[in-house]
Amino acid sequence: MPDSLRAKGFAPLWAPHARVLILGTLPSVKSLQAQQYYGHPQNAFWPVMAALLGFDADLPYAQRCRALTQAGVAVWDVLAAAERPGSLDADIRRDTVQANSLHELALQLPQLRCLVFNGQGASKLFKQHVLLPADSPLARLPRLELPSTSPAYAAMKRDEKRARWSTLLSYLNETGMDDESENV
C-alpha cells in the first residue's frame, strides 16, 4: 500500500484535572491537512463543544483547545495510526491498526470520571483494539457512546447532536482545577 494511505493521529489534548476523555477514531484527511482535531469545516465537534462549554467556536484553534482543557475535557483518538484511503472509518484496514496508549494517559488523569466515544466507530475500535490492564482507571469508568460529530453522519441534525452531547456536562460539574498546566 502506498505510504499516503497511512494516517497518523495527533498527541492528546489534556490537563491533569480532566474529568472527561473524548475519543474519536483517527483524524480525517482534512484534519490531518489542517493539523487540528476535528479540522473538517463541517464537523460539528467545535460548534457543539463551544455551545456546551460557553466559548466561541470561531476562536483560533489553540484557544479552542485551551477552552476544552480548562473545562476538564481531554481529547484523543482510539487509534494512533492505520491505513485508510480517505476519511471514512469503514475504510480503515483493521490489520494495520495501531491503538493509542490510552491506559498510560489515564494514569495521568486522576480526576477522570467518564470516557466518551465520538460515534459508534470509536466505541467499536476501542472494544476491538484497546487492551487495558485490569487495574486501569479506564476499566472502571462509565462509557458514553455519543452521536458522531462527523459530517459523514448526516442522519442527525447538529441541534440534536448538541442535545445528546450535553450528557457529558454532568461529569464536568465538579471543580478541581488546581493544576492549570495543559498539554495542548
Tens-digit pLDDT string for the chain (184 aa):
344 588 899 999 999 999 999 999 999 999 999 999 999 999 999 999 999 999 999 999 999 999 999 999 999 999 999 999 888 888 899 899 999 999 999 999 999 999 999 999 999 999 999 988 888 989 989 999 999 999 888 888 989 999 999 999 999 986 444 444 455 5
Query: C-alpha dihedral over 149, 100, 116, 183, to 10 degrees?
Result: -90
CB neighbourhood size of 71 (10 A): 20
pTM: 0.91
Q: At what angle do helices 61-70 and 45-53 cross, to 10 degrees?
A: 50
- Contact at 8 Å (CB) between 176 and 111? yes
Strand partners, 24: 77
- Contact at 8 Å (CB) between 144 and 114? yes
Q: How far apart are CA 43 and CA 148, in angstroms?
A: 9
Strand partners, 144: 116
User: What is the length of the chain?
Assistant: 184
Q: At what angle do helices 45-53 and 158-165 cross, to 10 degrees?
A: 50
